């Protein structure tokens, strides 16, 4: 690219748009479906059950310890598919760019997207670029969608937790959320913490292979954190979930930063962690298998599903605290952490 | 919704996000896949060839004669699928909202999206909402993705035009582009023109049924208009395309507005028109069938594909003018019309 900055013309759909795509994205995201450069890609499926998801990424800052908005978008969409038990087949990439956005940053993001796609084995097969005038967007927003094939026999859902089930978490809480908040606050501690952004489809495939029929659901605790996801599961399944505070994994640096910033790690986003609700009889073997994967090596059991006797059918998450107390954990409310992803 | 305006909290992923989705979108976009409210939808396919597309919408103004950003996003993504010969199965809807965006406008857009989805028979099956602080985006950006099933035996591509082929256009040029430009300029004439935003999958299905094997490609002339799309086809197919200026359909009000604003209708966007390149032996029957559909009732033959003898393999579009001249038509370059879609 001869231009150092994004021009409005780069979003026109004409020659400058083509030049941008052909010089920056096609070489990095090379695959047969994308190379055809039609407005939609054609993929061959191994299954006729399709998972389909979308997510917009507006994270601020766009580069942060452990990742950037591009890597986050690739991983996030792969993970939304993986949480359904789907094998991710392809991603779409829609960019909204602010006029004047530095071309060097776009190249850096394209490299990062390409690397995340390559390492995950999930190609970007179609895309779109729009440019809005200066001041009409904040640098770059990325929306990724994804399609995946759902293997026969997989039935998962947030409404399927049953009393007795084990609650597993694949690693430390809040890494992504606190990294973003610390970066924005200029907190010096940020050098010791970084985003956990990572793809989870390998972990999911391993667990489904280990004991697929024992698994009720996978959920990744992104916006709203572990608390919000568990509150949703409890509500949809009409059960109570009891968490053991001592078992909740938080890195020391993250715990310190949370205290300094007055944030609760239970409500902070992860971008490479997975909650698994599973039959208790398979919980140990699942945990062991989890720990054998790169994404799940710090996996732990954090609680269990119980009958909601007090308020049957309404769902609730209870934290059993280290000193023996019990605290009700609701979904995130009234404390927005904007632009965390 | 009790709030009159979008708050940052509506993008948090917590309770306010859920309330927003449940009160505004779920009731309007009701379908089984969406109602499960997981992060990705699961669809059953009738085919294992999948079309997959994405597009970002940043049109300004967001409400305009004949449509709005929501309707445009639904139709645009349906059309990207249809252009591949695919039967659209489902759409995703990712919103990036500016804090303070009026809730009444969001409801109006949700109604419009729901109506467009219903009338097209293509459900919105998954979605995402992000909110950025005031001044960090311009009201609302919408990214829609879509999946569709490609029937067996369909082979289409912009690289498949052959000398002798007919070039058909399903109706008047430039309606969408000039409507947006006129609305932005405050041109009084705007009352007589409106966007042509419309779904094209019905038209495509009819033409494939009429003479599928005769069709080389479908393309919708959106950003960059008829000229840019034909230049791409000529280049990819290594042919020349000759257009007959007298045959190019432009509404009188559109022609007047183009003159006043100094814009060439060949380069202005449509959002409900289709270019069809087809074997000349089937051109008449395809045109007749086209005219029998709501989206194609003003369809005409606008030119033909010829061998590119002068510059073999490089492609080129030639306009044969009304007074007998010949003008080379290149793709859109250097004259961006920002935020036209």
Yes or no, beta carbons of B137 and A133 under 8 Å apart? no
Q: Is the pLDDT of residue A260 over 80?
A: yes
CA-based nearest distance B80→chain A, Å: 6
H/E run at residue B130: strand B124-132
The residue of chain A nearest to residue B155, with distances taken between CA atoms, is: A42
Residue of B nearest to A57 (CA): B130
Residue with tokens 């994270």: A59
- Joined together, the tokens standing for residue B155 give 């082979």
* B147 closest CA partner among B45, B219, B215: B45
CA distance B278 to chain A (A): 18
Query: Which residues on B lie below 8 Å from A47 (Cβ)?
Result: 48
Q: Which of A91, A130, A222 to mutate to test the interface with B (most CBs of B within 10 A)?
A: A130
Task: Give pLDDT, residue A15.
Answer: 72
Topology of domain A8-149 in CATH is: 60s Ribosomal Protein L30; Chain: A; (3.30.1330)
Question: Exposure of B120 by Cβ count < 10 A (0-12 exposed, 13-18 middle, 19+ buried)?
Answer: buried
Q: Do B39 and A224 touch (CB under 8 A)?
A: no
| Disruptive mutation site among A16, A36, A40 for chain B (greatest number of B CBs within 10 Å) | A40
ipTM: 0.89
Which pLDDT band, with edges at 50, 70 and 90, does A177 fall under? very high
Query: Prior bond to B61 cis, omega within 30?
Result: yes
For A14, A120, B176, B178, the CA distances from B267, given in Å and listed in that order, are: 9, 40, 11, 10
SS3 B253: helix
Q: Which two tokens stand for residue B4?
A: 């009159």
The answer to whether the Cβ–Cβ distance between B43 and A53 falls below 8 Å is no
User: What are the tens digits of pLDDT across the range B114-124?
Assistant: 999 999 999 99
Spans of all domains in chain A: 8-149, 166-329
Q: What is the pLDDT of residue A284?
A: 98
Nearest Cα to Cα of residue A165 among A282, A249, A246: A282
Q: Which CATH architecture has domain A166-329?
A: Alpha-Beta Complex (3.90)
What is the predicted pLDDT for the residue at A122?
Answer: 93
Q: Choose the closest CB to A13 out of B95, B129, B228.
A: B228
* Mean pLDDT for the stretch of residues B314-338: 82
Grade residue B245 by pLDDT with cuts at 50, 70 and 90: very high
Which chain B residues are closer than 8 Å to A333 by Cβ? 9, 14-16
| Tens-place pLDDT, residues B248-272 | 999 999 999 999 999 999 999 999 9
Predicted confidence at residue B173, as pLDDT, reads 97
When pLDDT is cut at 50, 70 and 90, the band that residue A22 belongs to is: confident
What residues of chain A, 88 to 127, have a C-beta less than 8 Å from chain B? 89-90, 92-96, 125-127
Q: Which residue of A has its CA nearest to B133?
A: A338
Interface test with B, best of A143, A149, A266 (most B CBs within 10 A): A143
| pLDDT 10s digits, B144-193 | 999 998 888 888 999 999 999 999 999 999 999 999 999 988 876 656 79
pLDDT of A29: 74
pLDDT band with cut points at 50, 70 and 90 for residue B336: low
| B335, pLDDT greater than 60 | no
């Amino acid at each position: 690219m001869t231009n150092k900055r994004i021009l409005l013309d780069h979003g026109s759909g004409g020659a400058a748009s083509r030049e941008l795509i052909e010089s920056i994205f096609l070489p990095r995201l090379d695959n047969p479906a994308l190379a055809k450069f039609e407005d939609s890609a054609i993929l061959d499926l191994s299954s006729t059950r399709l998972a389909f998801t979308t997510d917009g990424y507006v994270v601020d800052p766009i580069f942060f310890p452990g990742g950037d908005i591009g890597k986050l978008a690739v991983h996030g969409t792969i993970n939304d598919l993986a949480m359904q038990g789907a094998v991710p087949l392809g991603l779409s990439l829609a960019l909204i760019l602010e006029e004047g956005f530095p071309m060097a940053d776009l190249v850096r993001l394209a490299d990062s997207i390409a690397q995340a796609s390559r390492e995950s084995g999930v190609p970007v097969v179609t895309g779109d670029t729009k440019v809005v005038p200066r001041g009409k967007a904040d640098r770059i927003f990325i929306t990724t969608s994804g399609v995946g094939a759902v293997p026969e026999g997989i039935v998962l859902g947030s409404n399927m937790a049953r009393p007795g089930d084990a609650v597993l978490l694949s690693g430390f809480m809040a890494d992504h959320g606190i990294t973003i908040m610390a970066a924005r606050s200029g907190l010096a501690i940020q050098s010791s913490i970084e985003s956990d952004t990572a793809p989870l489809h390998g972990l999911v495939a391993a667990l489904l292979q280990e004991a697929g029929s024992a698994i009720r659901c996978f959920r990744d605790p992104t916006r709203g954190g572990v608390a919000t996801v568990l509150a949703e599961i409890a509500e949809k399944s009409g059960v109570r979930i009891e968490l053991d505070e001592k078992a909740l994994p938080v890195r020391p640096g993250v715990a310190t930063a949370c205290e300094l910033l007055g944030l609760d790690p239970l409500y902070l986003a992860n971008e490479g962690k997975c909650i698994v609700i599973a039959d208790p009889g398979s919980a140990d073997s699942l945990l062991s298998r989890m720990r054998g994967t790169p994404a799940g090596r710090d996996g732990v059991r954090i609680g269990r599903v119980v009958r909601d006797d007090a308020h049957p059918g309404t769902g609730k998450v209870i934290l059993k605290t280290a000193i023996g107390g019990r605290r009700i954990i609701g979904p995130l409310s009234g404390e927005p952490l904007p632009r965390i992803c």
